[in-house]
Amino acid sequence: MKAADLIPHVSTIPTLRRYGKVKQVIGLMIESQGPESSIGEMCYIYVQSSSKRKKVQIKAEVVGFREGIVVLMPFTHVHDIAPGSIVEATGRPLEIKVGDALIGKIVDPLGEPIDDSPLPYGMKTVTTEKEPPNPLTRPPINEVMEVGVRAIDSMLTVGKGQRIGIFAGSGVGKSTLLGMVARNTEADINVIALIGERGREVREFIERDLGPEGAKKSIIVAATSDQPALMRIKGAFTATAIAEFFRDKGLNVMLMMDSVTRVAMAQREIGLAIGEPPATKGYTPSVFGLLPKLLERTGTNQFGSITAFYTVLVDGDDLNEPISDTVRGILDGHIVLDRAIANRGQYPAINVLKSVSRLMNHLAEKPHLLASGKIRHLMSTYEEAEDLINIGAYKKGSSKEIDDAIKVIPKIKEFLKQSYDEKVEYNMSVKQLVNLSEKGEW
């Protein structure tokens, strides 16, 4: 390397190190006298490890200031931090290493492989905090993204670069549906963020739901529920930064995040700890500032696309609770998983009438849209008359529309079913839908 080539690198070497000292630890927060730093900056806290019997450094992030005191939150637990521990400012935010060699690996929110294997060489350094693309540089979404799930491809068609929310209570099949999409999608690469999951569920998702076929083209970012709130938030931002890296290479990326609700809960923990007032149902104002900042980073740009599926835990199956309502307003559509549908053995348990893809009218061809509209109408007609039908109060011949709905509804329910290991091509899904609407058979 020539001397002239070294100049840009030499100019980035810090010439002045800034230090401070831990003053006190209160709950999740570390208060330090100095160093001079800014919000979002990463710092190192040097402590004497009681278990390893040596000096170690703990990564922490500046999250606020209070009367001249720097407020930090650690990426790990705070067992060995004591008053007087040295705090060093790095002058930069959290950075991770990304590259093609990361495909097939499982990493933590700091970008480190969780199996303790070393990171491959030749990786590029990127920051986890970025601004969303300029709205004027986002190309319109005009291509279909095949996901291989018949109910979605036919009734809720998704485009390349679209952002969809999967809304469901616990145990209704969110992870199974994500696994189906990851295995069956035509995307070039999957980036999967498992945020706030139980420890046992990470391996179960990889081996059972994702499978070898999905894992070989996926990068998984895992932040389990036992990790600090900051790590759970960084898991979401790290996964998004990895997806952005591959989008900027011109690829069509599938980003899946399970779940955005746990990201919001982690931000609420941090907000309450630094003294933010609780607002709607205990969520702090910073939560509602964080969500659009995170969700708007996906979508299209001038190079490639990130198609994103975000799961939202619906508390008590209430679709109007604050996080659900906010996320639904930001995204380009929503898929509702219904417990009543799951209870009768229909999987994936998608409630088509409560779900919508805001871009389907721009993506699907006319015969497809007409067939979809007819099936929706039949389902709606049957749902309105279902109580009368079940108690025997409906008399056949009273309404031709209801008679038609009763005749075809078993076929519709069968059409919307799909086993988790079955893949249905997009064109086949559309063909079957058109046949179902025209002939009552598929």
CATH number, domain containing residue 416: 1.20.1270.330
Residue 2 lies in a domain: no
Do both 79 and 182 map to the same domain? Answer: no
182 and 41 in a common domain: no
Domain co-membership, 195 together with 260: yes
Is 413 found in the same domain as 270? no
Residue 223: its pLDDT value, please?
Answer: 93
In this structure, the answer to whether residues 180 and 283 fall within a common structural domain is yes
Residue 69 lies in a domain: yes
Where does the pLDDT of residue 6 fall: very low under 50, low under 70, confident under 90, or very high at 90 and above?
low
Tens digit of pLDDT for each residue in 326-335?
999 999 999 9
- In which band, very low, low, confident or very high, does the pLDDT at 15 lie, cut at 50, 70 and 90? low
User: What CATH number corresponds to the domain at position 38?
Assistant: 2.40.10.170
Under the banding of pLDDT at 50, 70 and 90, the label for residue 26 is confident
The answer to whether position 9 is within a domain reads: no
Last residue of a domain, one of 335, 363, 391: 363
Are 58 and 172 in the same domain?
no
258 and 303 fall within a common domain: yes
Q: Write b or e for each residue in 238-265: b if 16 or more Cβ atoms lie within 10 A of its Cβ, otherwise e.
A: bbbbbbbbbbeeebbbbbbbbbbbbbbb
Residue 325 and residue 374 share a domain: no
> Could you count the other beta carbons within 10 Å of the beta carbon of residue 431?
16
**CB of 39 within 8 A of CB of 89?**
no
Picking from 363, 395, 423, the residue at the C-terminal end of a domain is 363
- What is the count of structural domains for the chain? 3
Are 170 and 318 in a shared domain?
A: yes
On average, the pLDDT of the chain sits at: 89
Q: Has residue 7 been placed in a domain? A: no
The CATH code of the domain that includes 232 is: 3.40.50.12240
pLDDT, mean of residues 51-72: 85
Contact 251, 217 (CB under 8 A): no
Q: Which domain-ending residue is among 35, 64, 93?
A: 93
Residue 359: domain span = 96-363
Compute the distance between CA of residue 158 and CA of residue 432 in angstroms, rounded to an integer.
18
Beta bridge partners of 49: 54
Q: Tell me: pLDDT of 338 over 70.
A: yes
Considering the domain architecture, whether residues 227 and 331 belong to the same structural domain is answered as yes
Q: How far is residue 352's CA from residue 375's CA, in Å, rounded to a whole number?
A: 10
Antiparallel, parallel or unpaired: β 95-98 and 86-89: unpaired
CA distances (Å), origin 120, targets 117, 123, 215, 253, 371: 9, 7, 18, 22, 50
pLDDT-above-70 percentage for the chain? 95
pTM, to two decimals: 0.90
Domain match, 276 and 247 both: yes
